[in-house]
Amino acid sequence: MRVVLLTLMSGAALLGCTDSRAAEVARAPQQASVASAGDLAARFVSHPENIQPGMVKPYAGRVMVNPYEGNASAAATGAKLFVSYNCIDCHGADGSGAMGPSLADGRWHFGGTPGEVFESIYQGRPEGMPAWGSLIADDQVWMLVSYVRGLQANKNVTTENFAGKTVERTGH
Amino acid sequence: MRNARVVMLAVAVTACAKGADTTGDSANGHPAAVQTVSGATIAAPRAGPAGEWSLPAGDYSNSRYSELDQITAANVKGLHAAWTFSTGVLRGHEGSPLVVGNTMYIVTPYPNVSYALDLATEGQPLKWKVRPENAQQAVGLACCDVVNRGASFDNGKIFYNLLDGHTVAIDAASGKLLWQTKMGDLSRGETMTMAPLAVKGKVIVGSSGGEMGVRGWVAAIDQATGKEVWRAYNVGPDADIKVGPRFKQFYKPADAGANAAQHSWPGDSWKQGGATVWGWISYDPVLNLVYHGTSNPGPWNGNQRPGDNQWSAAIIARDADTGEMVWAFQPTPHDIWDYDGVNENILVDLPMGGTTRKALVHFDRNGFAYTMDRATGEVLVAKPFVPMNWASEVSLKTGRPTMNPDKMPASGKKITFICPSLEGGKNQQPAAFSPATGLFYVPTNNLCMDFEAREVTYIAGTPYIGGNAPEVAGPGGYKGEFIAWDATTGRKMWGIKEPFPVWGGGLATKGDVVFYGTLDGWFKAANARTGEVLWKFKVGSGVVGNPISYLGPDGKQYIAIYAGIGGDMGLLIAGDVAANLPFDVRERGSTLPDLARWTSWGGMLFVFSLN
């Protein structure tokens, strides 16, 4: 069971920016039955944050590349998709968080590389992030990646100093 | 008739009813006692001992009144922290614990762990701890933090809801999980946060998810078996909403007749119509009726659902045994402001017009306080209890508000400074009633909003909202006020202004002391007759829960309150005070930009006593 699940995930990693994802994923369990452990490992995405036991050299998984990296018009389309797919009402109008976590604070719960953000959108995440890979095309996921990765500038505030601030207060 | 909505110009912000204003500190001098209402009584005072708190609001009537009177206006200044308990969870602690016999029962926010604390032993050791299975996905499907508003005790069992849509029963003596019944569909965004009400061998429950395009319902579960006894939807065909021969409306709405809760929606839009039951339930044992509110219609953008949208944003009376709808009333027909109708209904008998009326008092999100006949649904009094400008008055002939056309959101338009905001004049924070003064003690918000509606597509499991509504302080600059209210006349009698919305509930006691907590972490005691703040204590986190009073095994009166900021106000509005995870550094919310200076996450029970 675990092998099948991992294969589905790695299928997501392999397919890159095609529109035929659904068909490929549907075939994935069949691939699992013939894949060797080595084949599977080569398909996994590399997560830079992962701890490597024994401090061995970083695990060499695939690096997923956003075909729209640096493409402003794709990011602009991503912004529209962010509204159309109701992302806005979970993550906030400016992506700064509401029901769901902020995407604009530069702090990523599941990694902030393009591949990791792709995975978060495609597969979903445990606390209610839907698995959008079943509904929307890969190129749209990548446009969303372009948009949300562009939100994080200058909002990672490590220190807030409240001293000396004049605060208007009514009541006590 | 959908377009023939009568509107009239309303000018500026309607002033609140007259009344003395006090402030959080009344160090100089003592305000005068206000006029009280004699002869007002709780419809169904609690059956059990006065020192217990076995139901979410203490009794079926939702009074939140304690008969204990050791703590009085004269001695409350000697109140001090007696003991505390950490729930181990750092999310919004709405609701309150229960106390039955020598045991206190606590339910935490998600993951909805419950604890039984032995009050008879020094140090309050645990009798048991229960950790039910509770799907993690629920966390991200809950609109307004992962709160839980508490439990009910009946027949030796504790009943409460899990965020992932289950209701559980636990043996109060042993902690054994007796049953766990799936009531909500998480994949559609149905979560459960409300406190069930135990009534006549059943448990009445409802779901959250009004922001997710779910179809709201209320249901009764058999206490012994965990099996569903009845389920009534609030929108859709008459058979589904349990409208039959007993259904009588005091006011005939614009959309009436058979299946009106289906036909007052375009097409099949009622299937995503919201109208969830996430608030407090009350019960009248003589009429055998349960009362509940329903949430906003889905989506917020009203252009996508012309019509009255029955029975969203409504108050509904149902037969406790069958769920049949006996009457229904919409304070906000065709709600386009997210005003909901879900706030608690307090059942009291009030002296009015030379007679005693079987009344229901409801402080609606829309800013009007309704005093109604709880047998028929007739509106007896409806007056603003907070500053407002979306409507000027409620007609007692039709029950409908007279709306201000300048404050009506529509697709693609930005409407500015609508009061109250979508948080409402009051929200989940329940009011209390004291038969000693005949007054209601109401935690309120004073917020206004801009509203920008937009088209939204329904995608199951995602929000179905279609609007942005940034908020600012209402007229006067303060953002909340704890008020005393005369429901026979619709007048504010006194008010304690607060810098932040008062998002925690009220408690009234026979000792003429009322209690409430604030978002910035103050727990306060005020004189019920004057509104003078007599005592306050800075607890460990902002308060969004409801105080209770109980008699300890040592014969002393105790006051208990949760400290744990969160809920809608903490999670969504305060920004970095209560972000999704403590290491989030999301920007501070613009509505309460200063709150982060005064409090942070918490999850503690504080218990107070004299000496």
Complex confidence, ipTM: 0.90
Residues A29, A6: Cα–Cα separation, whole Å? 10
**Cβ separation A101–B137 shorter than 8 A:** no
Quick check: B405 contacting A, CB < 8 Å? no
Beta carbons of B435 and B50 less than 8 angstroms apart: no
pLDDT at position A13 over 80: no
The set of residues, in sequence order, having a beta carbon less than 8 Å from that of B102 and lying 6+ positions away, is B118, B119, B120, B553
Determine whether B268 is exposed, middle or buried from the number of CB atoms within 10 Å of its CB (0-12, 13-18, 19+): exposed
**Cβ separation A172–B536 shorter than 8 A:** yes
Mean pLDDT across the stretch B347-367?
A: 97
Structure tokens at A45: 């995405």
In DSSP terms, B42 is beta-bridged to B348
For B263-337, list the strands marked E by DSSP.
282-284, 289-293, 315-319, 325-329
**Cβ separation B468–A93 shorter than 8 A:** yes
pLDDT band at B17 (very low <50, low <70, confident <90, very high): very low
pLDDT at position B211 over 60: yes
Q: Which amino acid is at B375?
A: A
Q: What tens digit of pLDDT does each residue of B292-307 get?
A: 999 999 999 999 999 9
Whether residue B5 lies inside any domain: the answer is no
Q: What tens digit of pLDDT does each residue of B128-141 get?
A: 999 999 999 999 99
**Cβ separation A86–B459 shorter than 8 A:** yes
Q: What is the pLDDT, as a whole number, of residue A30? A: 39
The set of residues, in sequence order, having a beta carbon less than 8 Å from that of B243 and lying 6+ positions away, is B261, B324, B325
Closest CA to B137 of B231, B218, B212: B212
State the Rg of chain A over Cα. Answer: 19
B contact test, residue of A103, A123, A157, A170 with most B CBs within 10 A: A170
The set of residues, in sequence order, having a beta carbon less than 8 Å from that of B355 and lying 6+ positions away, is none
Beta carbons of B543 and B562 less than 8 angstroms apart: yes
Q: What is the pLDDT, as a whole number, of residue A170? A: 36
Whether residue B1 lies inside any domain: the answer is no
Domain count, chain B: 1
Q: What residues 214-273 of chain B have any CB closer than 8 A to a CB of chain A?
A: none
Count of CA atoms in the C-beta half-sphere (13 A) of A90: 23
Q: What is the pLDDT, as a whole number, of residue B577? A: 60
Q: Which amino acid is at A164?
A: G
Computed over every residue of chain B, the mean pLDDT equals 93
Whether residue B14 lies inside any domain: the answer is no
**Cβ separation A170–B468 shorter than 8 A:** no
Instruction: Supply the residues of B annotated as catalytic.
Output: 211, 296, 338
Q: What is the pLDDT, as a whole number, of residue B575? A: 58
Whether residue B471 lies inside any domain: the answer is yes
Q: What residues 45-84 of chain B have any CB closer than 8 A to a CB of chain A?
A: none
Q: How far is A4 from chain B (nearest CA, A)?
A: 22
Q: Report DSSP state, residue B386.
A: S
Helices A138-149 and A72-84, axial angle in degrees (round to 10): 100
Helices A2-15 and A21-34, axial angle in degrees (round to 10): 130
Residues B471, B449: Cα–Cα separation, whole Å? 4
**Cβ separation B478–A104 shorter than 8 A:** no
Q: How far is B474 from chain A (nearest CA, A)?
A: 12
Closest CA to A126 of B409, B580, B380, B192: B580
pLDDT at position B170 over 50: yes
Q: What tens digit of pLDDT does each residue of B308-355 get?
A: 999 999 999 999 999 999 999 999 999 999 999 999 999 999 999 999
Closest CA to B114 of B146, B90, B87: B87
Q: What tens digit of pLDDT does each residue of A117-149 get?
A: 999 999 999 999 999 999 999 999 999 999 999
- Give the structural domain span for B312: 20-610
**Cβ separation A102–B459 shorter than 8 A:** no
pLDDT band at B256 (very low <50, low <70, confident <90, very high): confident
| CATH code of the domain in which B339 resides | 2.140.10.10
Residues B26, A111: Cα–Cα separation, whole Å? 52
Residues B187, B168: Cα–Cα separation, whole Å? 20
Q: How far is A57 from chain B (nearest CA, A)?
A: 29
Beta carbons of A78 and A71 less than 8 angstroms apart: no
pLDDT at position A23 over 70: no
**Cβ separation B136–A126 shorter than 8 A:** yes
- B533-566 exposure pattern, b = at least 16 Cβ within 10 A, e = fewer: bbbbbebbbbbbbbbbbbbbeeebbbbbbbbbbb
For the four alpha carbons of A69, A75, A77 and A79, in that order, the dihedral sign comes to: positive
**Helix H or strand E encompassing A147:** helix A138-149
Looking at per-residue pLDDT, the higher value among B97 and A171 belongs to B97
Residues B242, B263: Cα–Cα separation, whole Å? 16
Q: What tens digit of pLDDT does each residue of B565-604 get?
A: 999 887 766 655 655 566 666 666 678 878 888 888 899 9
Chain A residue nearest residue B145, CA to CA:
A99
Query: Which own/partner contact pairs does A117-125 have at CB distance under 8 Å and 24+ positions apart?
Result: A117/A145, A117/A148, A117/A149, A118/A12, A118/A64, A118/A66, A118/A142, A118/A145, A119/A9, A119/A12, A119/A13, A119/A45, A121/A145, A122/A12, A123/A9, A123/A12, A125/B140
Residue among A130, A168, A171 whose CB faces B462 most closely = A130
Q: How far is A17 from chain B (nearest CA, A)?
A: 24
For the four alpha carbons of B88, B146, B560 and B44, in that order, the dihedral sign comes to: negative
Angle in degrees, CA B239, B244, B247, rounded to 5: 125
**Three-class DSSP category at B358:** strand
**Cβ separation B597–A162 shorter than 8 A:** yes
Whether residue B15 lies inside any domain: the answer is no
Chain B residue nearest residue A125, CA to CA:
B137
Q: What is the pLDDT, as a whole number, of residue A24? A: 37
Chain B residue nearest residue A95, CA to CA:
B586
Residues B96, B11: Cα–Cα separation, whole Å? 41
Q: Which amino acid is at B368?
A: F
Closest CA to B366 of B406, B409, B333, B397: B333
Q: Hey, which of A5-14, B78-87, B468-477 has the most confident mean pLDDT?
A: B78-87
Q: What is the pLDDT, as a whole number, of residue A161? A: 74
pLDDT at position A155 over 90: no
Whether residue B7 lies inside any domain: the answer is no
**Cβ separation A130–B457 shorter than 8 A:** no
A contact test, residue of B147, B193, B462 with most A CBs within 10 A: B462
**Cβ separation A107–B456 shorter than 8 A:** no
Read off φ and ψ for residue B397, nearest 5 degrees.
Answer: -80, -35
Q: What tens digit of pLDDT does each residue of B230-244 get?
A: 999 999 999 999 999
Which residues of chain A does B136 touch, with a Cβ-Cβ cutoff of 8 Å? Answer: 126-128
Q: What tens digit of pLDDT does each residue of B424-439 get?
A: 999 999 999 999 999 9
Q: What is the pLDDT, as a whole number, of residue A158? A: 72
Q: How far is A38 from chain B (nearest CA, A)?
A: 32
Of A157-171, B169-183, B582-596, which gets the smallest average pLDDT?
A157-171
**Helix H or strand E encompassing A121:** helix A114-123
Q: How many CB atoms lie within 10 A of CB B88?
A: 12
Residues B408, B451: Cα–Cα separation, whole Å? 9
Chain B residue nearest residue A107, CA to CA:
B584
Residue among A126, A128, A135 whose CB faces B141 most closely = A128
Residues B551, B154: Cα–Cα separation, whole Å? 19
Which residues of chain B does A155 touch, with a Cβ-Cβ cutoff of 8 Å? Answer: 585-587
Mean pLDDT across the stretch B462-486?
A: 95
pLDDT band at A25 (very low <50, low <70, confident <90, very high): very low
Q: How far is B162 from chain A (nearest CA, A)?
A: 15
Q: How far is B249 from chain A (nearest CA, A)?
A: 36
Q: How many A/B residue pairs have CB atoms within 8 Å? A: 120
The set of residues, in sequence order, having a beta carbon less than 8 Å from that of A20 and lying 6+ positions away, is none
Structure tokens at A120: 């978060």
- Cα B520 versus chain centre, distance: 20
pLDDT band at B4 (very low <50, low <70, confident <90, very high): very low
Beta carbons of B282 and B314 less than 8 angstroms apart: no
- Give me the percent of chain A exceeding a pLDDT of 90: 39
Q: What is the pLDDT, as a whole number, of residue A29? A: 38
Q: What DSSP string runs through A64-102?
A: ---TTTT-HHHHHHHHHHHHHTTHHHHH-TTSS-SSS--
**Cβ separation B499–A172 shorter than 8 A:** yes
Which residues of chain A does B476 touch, with a Cβ-Cβ cutoff of 8 Å? Answer: 170
State the Rg of chain B over Cα. Answer: 22
Residues A131, A12: Cα–Cα separation, whole Å? 11
User: Could you tell me the CA-to-CA distances from B177 to B198, B226, B364, B510, B561 in Å, in that order?
Assistant: 17, 11, 36, 36, 26
Quick check: B559 contacting A, CB < 8 Å? no
Q: Which amino acid is at B116?
A: A
Chain B residue nearest residue A170, CA to CA:
B499
Whether residue B573 lies inside any domain: the answer is yes
Mean pLDDT across the stretch B186-193?
A: 97
Of A70-84, A147-161, B492-506, which gets the smallest average pLDDT?
A147-161
Q: What is the pLDDT, as a whole number, of residue A39? A: 60
In DSSP terms, B328 is beta-bridged to B316
pLDDT band at A34 (very low <50, low <70, confident <90, very high): very low
Q: Give first-to-last CA distance, chain B, whole Å.
A: 64
Query: Does the bond joining B311 to the residue before it have cis omega, within 30 degrees of 0?
Result: yes
Computed over every residue of chain A, the mean pLDDT equals 74
Quick check: B138 contacting A, CB < 8 Å? yes
Residue among B24, B457, B583 whose CB faces A107 most closely = B583
Determine whether A164 is exposed, middle or buried from the number of CB atoms within 10 Å of its CB (0-12, 13-18, 19+): exposed
Residues B522, B164: Cα–Cα separation, whole Å? 32
Give chain B's length. Answer: 611
